A and B are shown apart, each in its own frame.
Chain A
Amino acid sequence: MLKVKTPKTHRAKRALEKRAPRLASTRPLLPLLVENSKKTLILHGTKTSDVLNAVLTQIHHLKRDNSIRYTKRNDNIRPFESGGEASLEFFSQKTDCSLFVFGSHSKKRPNNLVLGRMYDHHVYDLVEVGVENFKSLESFVYDKKIAPRAATKPFFAFIGEGFESVEELKHLKEVLLDLFRGEAVENINLSGIDRVFVCTAISSTTVFMTHCALRLKRSGTAIPRMELVEVGPSMDLVVRRHRLPNESLKKEAMKTASHQPKKKMKNVHRDLVQGKIGKVYMPDQQVGDMTLTSNIKGLKRERRESKTKNAPKDDQSKKRKTEDQ
């Protein structure tokens, strides 16, 4: 026997509606139609080094508005192995996160970071990177006034041909963009741009990534001169393993609302010369049902006679009218 379970409070109902799949829309006034920005889940493996702990905390710090950090050790998460993602998918379901950063440290793969995305709470793709030459947020000295504010939309600068020619780096670029881009917005406040991620492909496997604050300087024109101040963290990411999304899954996940077929409008077509043309069908005139009174103009004898004399015979019962719109 089945029972219908519905939330007991409105708050719970709203929380569930927030998680429901939505259409993407460009209309900002309909928040329910816009897909929510992806949340990030930050996880630790069985062992993590000090460096990795710092990396995970600072990624969490950079994405403060939209990330959840679990500090317990997880011994059953191995994203690249089959069966090792069950726990991960469960956490994704539980927290409604669709991006994850998983840190682990082993002899074979020291300072290992797995960046991944989920689609519909299933692993979509994975990139594994090793962290080297990590410089933490605290080690940078700069004027604290220019420190980026929380949850501002970052700029991205990707430098190097590696991001185009090497498949792993191309993939990493997309994942990094998805991870740090923040909310997908339609309008942006120009006074609120204050951070940039600079990623440089040093070799075919290594990417130097750093986080900078933006300073807008007067240039004499409407466009300010940009100045970058490194605020950290900065690190080298060495690509290890990666897994691209399944082709069919990718096709499914890349669908956008504009790709949905439009509903066909009846009786309207387009003409090359005349433009939009609509057909209007007039229903049959119900002459017999009309109420008759003695003084209807059309029934007067002299008019009737003159009309039958002059007018040509017309036996059309159904009128079809075509008009331009």
Chain B
Amino acid sequence: MGAEKYEVDLGNLMAFDPSHHFQSVPSSREELAKACIGKGTELVQSIANALFSLPASADPEGPLVKLPPSATRLPREKHFPKPKPPTKWEEFAKMKGIKNRKKDKRVFDEQTDTWKRRYGYDRVNDDRDVPIIEAKMTDEPGEDPFSKRQSEKKQRVEKQEKNRLQNLKQAMKADALPSHVQLAATALPITGTKREVPKKQAEKNLRV
């Protein structure tokens, strides 16, 4: 009876009676509370009518009912996650049409005649497994080819790290850093290296 005159929002289990108006507000608190609860019971009953007529699925804890999406729209807590800008490599690969191909994890190592990992521990083409590097005509005399190989590797790693930081900086500008990454200044600028007082202000100070 009268279920239609209430606005029921099942998603929030809320009912609202916009038509109710107190003729005269009850003078005593008990009467007021009683009147409110009496009206509230009607409203709750109308929610229950709608709720219990939804299809329920059995569960050992009790019947489960799927609630419809809520009609009252409430604000979000935080903004939507922003899309990450493409890295320099991703941009380049897109321009050139390079696609990622799956590579085997295990590779045959010709130095040791065994199958080894492509990257990481016990990897293929490890520096320690190269016993001989053949001399070339272009080699400079007096240079250790083994240490040269090592330093080149080090440089490549450093370059990659630099690129990674650059890409993270770009992501930070777009406000799309992964949630667990923070970029922090390693050191504050040393006082004295930068001009502390803006030029205009300095002039003003001189006049006074």
A interface, CB within 8 angstroms of B:
1-7, 13, 16-17, 19-24, 26, 35-36, 38, 98, 117-121, 124, 133, 153-161, 163-164, 173-174, 177-178, 181, 184-193, 196, 198, 200, 202-203, 208, 210, 212, 214, 222-228, 230, 234, 245, 250, 252-257, 260
Q: Which residue of B lies closest to A1 (CB)?
A: B186
B13 touches A2 (CB 8 A): no
Contacts of A223 in B (CB 8 A): 48-49, 52-53
- Interchain residue pairs A-B with the least CB separation, the first 4: A191-B62, A20-B179, A253-B75, A198-B40
Would A159 and B20 be within 8 Å (CB), given that A177-B74, A223-B49, A228-B44 are in contact?
A: yes
A5 touches B181 (CB 8 A): yes
Contacts of B79 in A (CB 8 A): 21, 119-120, 252
Interface majority SS on A: helix, strand, loop or mixed?
mixed
Q: Which one of B25-33, B100-108, B110-118, B124-132 contacts A?
A: B25-33
Would A250 and B75 be within 8 Å (CB), given that A4-B165, A158-B15 are in contact?
A: yes
A-B contact count (CB 8 A): 211
A120 touches B78 (CB 8 A): yes
CB-contact partner of A13 in B37, B52, B78, B180, under 8 A: B180
Q: Which one of B63-71, B88-96, B142-150 contacts A?
A: B63-71
In addition to A181-B12, A188-B67, A228-B40, 18 A-B residue pairs with Cβ atoms within 8 Å of each other are A16-B180, A98-B77, A121-B78, A155-B47, A157-B44, A158-B14, A159-B36, A159-B39, A163-B18, A174-B74, A178-B75, A188-B64, A189-B65, A191-B62, A208-B33, A212-B40, A214-B44, A224-B52
Closest chain A CB from B134 CB (angstroms): 40
Contacts of A188 in B (CB 8 A): 13, 51, 64-65, 67
